[in-house]
Amino acid sequence: MQTDLRSANPSRTAPAVQALRRRFEGGLLIPGDAGYDAARLGWDRTVDSRPAVIAVAASPGDVRTAVTVAHEHGLPLAVQATGHGSIRSVDGALLLKTTGMAMIDIDPQGMTATVGPGAVWHDVNDAAARFGLGSLAGRCATVGVTGYTLGGGTGWLSRRFGYAADSVLKAEIVTADGRMITATEHDHPDLFWAVRGGGGNFGIVTSLQFQVFSTPTIFAGMTFHPVERAADLFTAYQEWAHTEPDEMNTAVLVMRLPPAPSIPEALRGRQVLALRAFHLGDARSGRQILAPLLDAAGPALYDGLDVRLFPESSAAANGPDAPPIALRQYVEFFDRLPADAMDAIVASGAADESPVAFVELRHWGGAMAHPAADAGPAGARGVPFSVMAVAPYFSPDRGRVDAHVDRLAQRLAPHATGQAFLNLLHDPMRTRDAFTADDYRRLVDVKTRWDPDNLFRLHHNIPPHQPTYSKDNS
C-alpha cells in the first residue's frame, strides 16, 4: 500500500517505532532525541526533512527489518548514507541511515573492491592506493560509493574505463518484499541491469562489488589563470576536446576561489579562470596534451599540476570538498555551444557581483560513450559536453541567486539537449530525462516486478506500471 508523506501520523508511526525497537539492532532516533537533527539532514541543506523515525542500521539484517516494518505499517521509506543524493523531503517517513555500514575490502589479485552501503570514496581510494589501484570514484571524495554508483557515477577515470555503474560485478540487495538476494549477470540479470544506473528504485544495496584499476602514474591538479582569458580558453576547449585522449579527463571553469588553506593566500576569494586535469600517465605526456589549453589560458597565476597517488590526485584536481550547504545547481548537456552560449557561461561566472561559486564546461565521451552491449541504463552516454553552475545560498533570501542562475538557464536553453544524468539531477520531475526511451520502458518493467507497490520512491522515482481492472474484477 502506498502512503503519501502528508498522511503519515502517530497512529501509524508509533506501532512502527515499537516494532523497530523489538527487532532492530542499530540505533533509533525520533523527534526530540539528541542527535535527531544532525541525522535527519543531508548534504544539500535546501532539503530540510523531518522523518518520523531515523533507523541507523548496524547490519544487513537491520536493513531487512526496516524494509519489512515500513511495508507492514505503510510508512514511506527513504535511505541515506552521506545525503549527497537527497532531492526531496522525507517528512513523516522512516529514514534508514546506512552510514555505519562502511566495510571496505580490496582484492588486489582480483582487482576488485567490495564495500558496504555506508562507504565513502575517500576511504575506498585510500585503501585501493596501498596496492597501486584506483577507482571510478567521483570528484568529491566525501560522496557515498553506493548511491553514486547506482546513479551511474562519472569520475576521473571514466573517460578511460566508463561509468562506475559499468564496473559493478555483484550487488547484494534487500528487495521490497524483504528478501536478501545477490544480483549478478547470471543471477537476477534484470535487477542487475537496472541497478547499474537506475538509482535506488529496486531495492537497498547492502554490499557492492566492483572493479578497480591499475593507476601506476597520475598527473593531475588545477591551474589558475586571469579570468580575463576565460573566453579564449572556453572557446579553445570546445575544439580541443574532440582530440582529448581517453586517458585524460578535464574541465574548464570560471570560479571564485574559497578562503581555504589549500588555496594560495594571494588567490583566496579571487575570481579566476581554472583548468582541471586528471591524466592516467606521466607529467611529460600530460603537459604535451594540455599545451593548447595552457597556451589559450595564458600565464598561470598558480600551477598545481603534478604527479601524485590516486587519492591526492583526486583532491588536487577537485579542490576541497564543500561542507554541507544550501545551494542552487544548474546542469545541462550540449552537443555544441555556439559563441553566444559561451559568452553567457563566461559572463555568469565572471561578473563582479556573481553569486556563482563556479560555472564549468566539462567534456564527457570516451569509454562512457562506448559501453559494453550488456551495460546498464545510465544515461547521457553520447553527449560530449555539460555545463554546471553552482551557487550557494548564503542568506534566507534566495531571490538574487535564483534570478542569476535562471538567466543563465534561459540563455542556454535553446542549445541544451534535454538529457540528464541521474547523479547530477536535482529535479525529481525530470527523472525520465536521465534515460533513453527504451531503457526507461525496461526500467518500468523491472520496477513493476521487484517493487510493484513503489516502496522505494523517495529519491528519483521510476513508478511501476499501474494495475488495470476490468469490470469483472473491479
- Average confidence score pLDDT of the chain: 94
pLDDT at 319: 85
For every residue of 282-299, DSSP letters joined together read -HHHHHHHHHHHHHHH-S
111 dihedral zone (left: phi>0; alpha: psi -120 to 50; beta):
left
d(CA 251, CA 240): 11
Residue type, 160: R
- Report the CATH fold assignment for 9-97: 3.30.43
At residue 68's C-alpha, the angle toward residues 65 and 69, to 5°, is 85
* Res 7 pLDDT > 50: no
Looking at residue 10, what is its pLDDT?
A: 62
Residues of the chain with CATH 3.40.462.20: 218-427
Q: pLDDT per residue over 135-155, tens digit each?
A: 999 899 999 999 999 999 999
What is the structure's pLDDT at 5?
41
Q: Is the pLDDT of residue 362 over 80?
A: yes
Residue 9's pLDDT is 58
Can you tell me the distance from the alpha carbon of 99 to that of 96, in angstroms, rounded to the nearest whole number? 9
pLDDT at 472 > cutoff 70: no
The pLDDT-based confidence of 11 (bands split at 50, 70, 90) is low
| pLDDT higher than 60, residue 413 | yes
pLDDT at 471 over 60: no
This prediction's pTM: 0.94
When pLDDT is cut at 50, 70 and 90, the band that residue 322 belongs to is: confident
On the question of pLDDT at 77 being above 50, the answer is yes
The per-residue DSSP string of 347-393 comes to HHHHSTT---SEEEEEE--GGGGS--TT-------S--EEEEEEEE-
* Percent residues over pLDDT 90 in the chain: 89
Average confidence (pLDDT) over 434-459 = 97
Cell of 433: 530525462
104-214 is a CATH 3.30.465.10 domain? yes
- Identity of the amino acid at 108: P
Q: In the chain, where does the domain assigned CATH 3.30.465.10 lie?
A: 104-214
What pLDDT, on a 0 to 100 scale, did the predictor assign at position 474?
A: 35
User: What pLDDT digit, counting tens, does each position of 260-307 carry?
Assistant: 887 888 899 899 999 999 999 999 999 999 999 999 999 999 999 999
Q: 114 has which bridge partners?
A: 105, 209
- Residues spanned by CATH 3.30.43.10 within the chain? 9-97
pLDDT digits (tens, 9 = 90+) for 191-222: 999 999 999 999 999 999 999 999 999 999 99
pLDDT for the residue 262? 77
Q: How confident is the model at residue 72 (pLDDT cuts 50, 70, 90)?
A: very high
Above 80 in pLDDT, residue 354?
yes
Instruction: Give the CATH number of domain 218-427.
Output: 3.40.462.20
Whether the pLDDT of residue 6 is over 50: the answer is no
